[in-house]
Structure 1
Amino acid sequence: MKPTDAELEILHVLWSNGPSTVRQVHDQLSQSREIGYTTALKLMQIMHEKGFVSRDDSAKTHTYTAAVGEDDTQRGLVSRFVETAFRGSASKLVMQVLGQHKASREELDEIKRLLNQLDHDND
């Protein structure tokens, strides 16, 4: 199961800030878009039911923690995206991204290092 876009936004807040209350997540999300407190609460309750977050309800204010890792979640989303949008071709994805987005020198150097590492790992 993959998180929705709204759930992914909440996960980003939890990954960045660590365990947080609904109010803290809501305040963070409100800086970039309009979202009601009850909407954030409902989303986080649904995410708890789905297993995306854990909840500590030992105190009056419940604290939520990401129950899924950022790397694992990104890997799953990218894998599914490559399969559905690019028929399994990672090279088509990379070419599309590099053709649409001006990569910085640092990003290009990082991509080259990764490619070299992958090439050496396959030897």
Structure 2
Amino acid sequence: MGKKQNKSTQMKPTDGEQEILSALWALEKATVRQVYTELSGKRDVGYTTVLKLMQIMFEKGLLDRDETSRSHMYWPRQKAQVTQRRLVNDFVQKVFGGSTGKLVLNALSTKKATPAEIADIRKMLDEMGADE
């Protein structure tokens, strides 16, 4: 397996890094070529740009890699949900003064939720109320 990095995975990924993480969460493990193929279907991106970003992400501790074969395999060090929750928490603290209620109200007033999303929100609120 690849070298373990001691760098913190708590840093906020850049927009480009976030795109790569999203591709890798969908693919689970992938070569640079596979990530490049995934991203190039959505926007204009160069192979060497993807390669360089993934190397930087490995050095930063955002990705792990297996170097045993010619084409290195990469995967995220954290699951999508862990990173998403950390980023949302940071956002709530910075933008809404720590108020999740303000976040939810703003989000729901900005974009209409689907009936399935509303059902999920109701279920979560019911479960949170039952914990009190």
Calculate the TM-score normalised by the size of structure 1: 0.96
Q: Which amino acid letter does the alignment assign opposite residue 120 of structure 2?
A: E
Structure of higher RCO (CA pairs closer than 8 Å, 6+ residues apart): 2
Partners of 1:119 and 1:5 in 2: CA distance: 36
Who is 1:45 aligned against?
Answer: 55
Are 2:122 and 1:112 equivalent residues in the alignment?
Answer: yes
Partners of 1:60 and 1:96 in 2: CA distance: 48
Partners of 1:79 and 1:10 in 2: CA distance: 21
Who is 1:68 aligned against?
Answer: 78
Who is 2:99 aligned against?
Answer: 89
Partners of 1:25 and 1:79 in 2: CA distance: 28
Unaligned ranges ≥5, structure 1: none
Who is 2:33 aligned against?
Answer: 23
Calculate the TM-score normalised by the size of structure 2: 0.90
Partners of 1:65 and 1:94 in 2: CA distance: 31
Q: Which amino acid letter does the alignment assign opposite residue 114 of structure 2?
A: S
How far 1:65 sits from its partner (Å)? 1.0
How far 1:55 sits from its partner (Å)? 0.8
Q: Which has the higher helix share?
A: 1
Identity across the alignment (%): 47
RMSD: 0.7
Partners of 1:21 and 1:3 in 2: CA distance: 20
Unaligned ranges ≥5, structure 2: 1-10
Q: Which amino acid letter does the alignment assign opposite residue 22 of structure 1?
A: V
